[in-house]
Amino acid sequence: MSQQADRRHAAVVPIRAVPARTPSFTDLGVSRQVAETLRMRGISEPFPIQALVLRDALAGRDVLARSRTGSGKTLAFAVPIVERVTPGGGSPNALILAPTRELASQVTEEFRAIADVKRLRVAAVYGGVGLGPQAKRARHADIVIATPGRLLDLVQRKMLRLDRVRICVLDEADRMLDMGFLPDVTRILEMLRPERQTMLFSATLEGAIGRLAARFIYDPVRHEVAGEDGPLVTEAHHRFVAVDQAGRLRALVRELAADRGLTLVFVRTKRGVDRLARNLKAEGFHAGALHGGMTQPARERALGRFAAGANDVLVATDVAARGLDLEHITHVINFDPPADEKDYLHRVGRTARAGRSGTGITFVTPEKTREVGRIASVLKLHTQFGDAGLRAETPRLAKLGPGSDARRPRSRPRPARRGR
């Protein structure tokens, strides 16, 4: 039986638990050089997902990891890659696939913060920028972080080779499949050398994710942080606000006038984002806008001003629900409610990350009470929903967890999008 066939018949592997005492980075096999770089960034000991994954990842094992948003998973694969890749290979040795430009950009910055110490070159590959300069940077990089669609563009145009990749990471794999990237991800994995190390990080390891792993991941170690079986991805305070359609702007102004840090406001449409950002500026707030209709440089400027605090309010579509990891985001406000419980988790997951506190606020109009009530029921937020004078209906068969997707009421399917 070939090695590729072996991957399709990988054995069931045990789930390893976090040790009672959190080991240090050096205990887990991280070099003192990299551990000191982390310490200088204020990261003195591993988060639970890092404590679980690092030893196996450093040893070159294939890894399946179920991790919550904001759990610190990026360093769980970035550190082993930085330790294992040798600079100057002539083409990329490590490839990280991410669902969105924002997440790819965020992961790239995480890598750069520790890759310099090992003289490794890092490049991002995503849409919205010129193909030629991007391909040139990627060809000479040791580590490439890419969205699937743009990566395939470069490979098909023979502007980038993947034959030297020996470490591949699928980051937020569930989101990539939700966005319709399964065919692209499959094609990319088929291009890579079969003897590579593969690591997959996802909020779920069941269903389509499990089938993908069974086909392409060989004899993996499966990691899940003990005690993280509940549906909520953050330690945020969750609050619902009953408001009529005409009163939403005044309600938002009241929330923004309160004591807070950086605040992310989610709106359903690009036009709605631009309109609300203009209205907030007219009210005296330093507000920026972020949506998929903007050019990549404009998006990066908006994110840069928000990260620096020049704009302390960022009005955005769901393009910001992944990959935006800023420690000073204290509030997430759903001006328009999310489509379903997954979108709620990803939005509110932008605050209270990696053990920090935060608040998620959702505006509920009479027209959306039933829809948001179902989300609150699935996420076990009945009390918070009731505190707003609203009543959450318990949906039949609503259940969030492994294997429950087929039994859950579904939102309208979204069209597949390419990562360009």
Per the CB < 8 A criterion, the answer to whether 86 and 165 are in contact is no
Shared-domain flag, residues 129 and 213: yes
Shared-domain flag, residues 130 and 245: no
Shared-domain flag, residues 274 and 310: yes
**Does pLDDT of 319 surpass 70?**
yes
Q: What is the mean pLDDT of residues 33-51?
A: 91
Per the CB < 8 A criterion, the answer to whether 98 and 145 are in contact is yes
Residue holding tokens 């509920």? 364
Instruction: Provide the 10 A C-beta neighbour count for residue 167.
Output: 22
Q: 412 lies in a domain?
A: no
pLDDT for the residue 101: 87
How far is residue 403's CA from residue 399's CA, in Å, rounded to a whole number? 9
Q: 364 lies in a domain?
A: yes
**Does pLDDT of 355 surpass 70?**
no
pLDDT for the residue 307: 86
Shared-domain flag, residues 266 and 203: no
**Does pLDDT of 163 surpass 70?**
yes
Q: What is the mean pLDDT of residues 272-279?
A: 96
Lowest-confidence region among 90-99, 157-166, 325-334: 325-334
Q: Among residues 167, 196, 224, which one ends one of the domains? A: 224
**Residue 313: in which H helix or E strand, if any?**
strand 313-316
Instruction: Provide the 10 A C-beta neighbour count for residue 261.
Output: 15
Shared-domain flag, residues 278 and 211: no
Shared-domain flag, residues 188 and 286: no
Q: What is the mean pLDDT of residues 239-264?
A: 94
Shared-domain flag, residues 192 and 313: no
How far is residue 274's CA from residue 269's CA, in Å, rounded to a whole number? 9
Shared-domain flag, residues 373 and 298: yes
Q: 210 lies in a domain?
A: yes
Q: pLDDT tens, 324-346?
A: 767 789 999 999 999 988 889 88
Confidence of residue 3 (pLDDT cuts 50, 70, 90): very low
DSSP 8-state class, residue 350: T
Q: How many domains does the chain have?
A: 2
pLDDT for the residue 414: 43
- Higher-pLDDT residue of 306, 415: 306
> Which range marks the domain in which residue 368 is found?
237-407
Q: 218 lies in a domain?
A: yes
Shared-domain flag, residues 207 and 341: no
Q: Among residues 224, 247, 278, which one ends one of the domains? A: 224
pLDDT for the residue 11: 40
Q: Among residues 203, 224, 245, which one ends one of the domains? A: 224
Shared-domain flag, residues 19 and 64: yes
Q: 177 lies in a domain?
A: yes
pLDDT for the residue 410: 39
Per the CB < 8 A criterion, the answer to whether 222 and 15 are in contact is yes
CATH number for position 331: 3.40.50.300
Instruction: Provide the 10 A C-beta neighbour count for residue 187.
Output: 14
**Does pLDDT of 5 surpass 80?**
no
Confidence of residue 251 (pLDDT cuts 50, 70, 90): very high
pLDDT for the residue 178: 81
Shared-domain flag, residues 401 and 253: yes
Q: 420 lies in a domain?
A: no
Shared-domain flag, residues 216 and 326: no
Q: 284 lies in a domain?
A: yes
**Does pLDDT of 232 surpass 70?**
no
